[in-house]
Amino acid sequence: MDRVDEIRRALNGDVSASIDGTTGLESAVSGSDIVVDAIDGGTDSHREVVAETETMVEAETLMAVSDTSLSVTAVATGLRSPDRAVGLNLVDPPDGAVVEVVIAAQTTAATRDRVTDFVESLDASPVVVRDTPGFAALRLELATIAEAIRMVEDGVAGIRDIDRTFERGDSDRDGPLVRADRHGLETVLTALEDLSTRLDERFEPPALLRQKVEDGQRGAVAGKGFYVWENGVPTTGAEPDPDVPTRDSEPDLR
C-alpha cells in the first residue's frame, strides 16, 4: 500500500480523486474493463504477467501494456486472446493530455475503438500509432534532442538560443536541451543507443552527449548538463556554449 499512500500524498488531499489499492492481483483486476500492465522488466516478464492476468478477467476485458521500450506485439503472444492487446503510453505525464494508443499486429479495430473511447473518457487525446520501436512521441523527442545537441557540437547557436526556438507562443514547454537535462543525460543516451540498435543510425548518440555522461555532467540531477542548475532551475549554459562569431569578432587564439 506504500505506493497508494504516495499517490494520495502527491494529490495533496484532492477529494475528487478516489484511490484504493490491493496486494492481490486477482482482486485488483476483477471486474475491470481494461487492465494496464506497467511493471518493470523485459518482454518475458510482461508476457508472463499479462498471461496470468488474462486468466483472472472477463473475456471482454482489454489488456494494455505501458512501456515504450517493448514491442506490444511480442508481449501479446502470451495471451490466449491476443486481439484484446494494445499499448497505452502517457505523453509528458503527469498531465496526460495526450496518450499513445499502440496498435499491435494482433489488435482488432474493436479493441482500438474501445481503447480510444476509454482515453477520451479521461479527458485526454488518443494518438493511434503502429507498434514500432519508440512509437511516435519518444522517437520525436529523442530525434529533436539529438539534433539540438548536434547543433551545439556544430556551433550553430548558443544553448539558450537553441532552446528559445522551441519556446514560442503560449506554450510552456521547455526547449530540447532543458528537457534532456531534466530527463537525465544518461537516460537520454541509453534511449538513443536502444533506438539506434532497433532502428538505424539516425538515432546514433552525438559524441558530445557521450562525453558529458562520461564527465559526470548528467543533467539536472547532477547540477550540470547542458545547463548549470541551481535549486532545480537552469541558469547559464554549460560549456561548450557556442558564441556565433561576427565579421569583427576577436580571433580565438586557443
Let me know whether 116 and 158 are in one domain: no
Let me know whether 103 and 175 are in one domain: no
Let me know whether 41 and 86 are in one domain: yes
User: Has residue 180 got a pLDDT over 50?
Assistant: yes
92 Rama sector, left if φ>0, alpha if ψ -120 to 50, beta otherwise: left
Return the pLDDT at 17.
Answer: 47
Give the range among 23-32, 111-120, 194-203, 209-218 with minimum mean pLDDT: 23-32
Task: Please name which of 193, 222, 221 lies closest in space to residue 209, comparing C-alpha atoms.
Answer: 193
Return the pLDDT at 254.
Answer: 47
- Domain-embedded: residue 195: yes
Number of helices (H) and strands (E), helices first, in the chain? 10, 7
Return the pLDDT at 169.
Answer: 57
- Domain-embedded: residue 164: yes
Let me know whether 151 and 77 are in one domain: no
Q: In which band, very low, low, confident or very high, does the pLDDT at 161 lie, cut at 50, 70 and 90?
A: very high
User: Has residue 160 got a pLDDT over 50?
Assistant: yes
How far apart CA 164 and CA 33 sit, in angstroms, is 43
User: Has residue 15 got a pLDDT over 80?
Assistant: no
Return the pLDDT at 96.
Answer: 54
In the chain, the N- to C-terminal Cα span, in Å, equals 59
Higher pLDDT, 3 or 191: 191
Q: How many of the other CB atoms lie within 10 Å of CB of 148?
A: 25
Q: In which band, very low, low, confident or very high, does the pLDDT at 122 lie, cut at 50, 70 and 90?
A: confident
Which of 93, 114, 130 represents a domain boundary (last residue)? 130
The arithmetic mean of pLDDT across residues 208-226, rounded, is 97
Q: In which band, very low, low, confident or very high, does the pLDDT at 26 lie, cut at 50, 70 and 90?
A: confident
- Domain-embedded: residue 19: no
Residue 226: exposure state from Cβ atoms within 10 A (0-12, 13-18, ≥19): buried
CATH of the domain at 87: 3.40.50.720
Let me know whether 163 and 232 are in one domain: yes
Q: In which band, very low, low, confident or very high, does the pLDDT at 3 lie, cut at 50, 70 and 90?
A: very low
The arithmetic mean of pLDDT across residues 85-104, rounded, is 84
Identify the three-state secondary structure at position 253. coil
Domain count, the chain: 2
Return the pLDDT at 94.
Answer: 52
Q: How many of the other CB atoms lie within 10 Å of CB of 95?
A: 9
- Domain-embedded: residue 39: yes
Return the pLDDT at 175.
Answer: 93
User: Has residue 16 got a pLDDT over 50?
Assistant: no
Which of 76, 111, 130 represents a domain boundary (last residue)? 130
Identify the three-state secondary structure at position 205. coil
- pTM for this structure? 0.81
- Domain-embedded: residue 85: yes
How far apart CA 70 and CA 87 sit, in angstroms, is 9
Let me know whether 48 and 111 are in one domain: yes
Q: What percent of the chain has pLDDT over 90?
A: 72
Let me know whether 78 and 38 are in one domain: yes
- Domain-embedded: residue 91: yes
Domain range spanning residue 204?
A: 137-237
Let me know whether 141 and 113 are in one domain: no
Return the pLDDT at 21.
Answer: 53
User: Has residue 120 got a pLDDT over 60?
Assistant: yes
Let me know whether 85 and 152 are in one domain: no
Each residue's pLDDT tens digit, 147-159 = 999 999 999 999 9
**What stretches of 45-97 adopt beta strand conformation (E)?**
62-65, 85-91
- Domain-embedded: residue 177: yes
Which of 110, 130, 150 represents a domain boundary (last residue)? 130
User: Has residue 4 got a pLDDT over 60?
Assistant: no
Q: Is the distance from CB of 152 to CB of 162 less than 8 angstroms?
A: yes
Q: What percent of the chain has pLDDT over 70?
A: 85
Let me know whether 119 and 74 are in one domain: yes
Let me know whether 161 and 220 are in one domain: yes
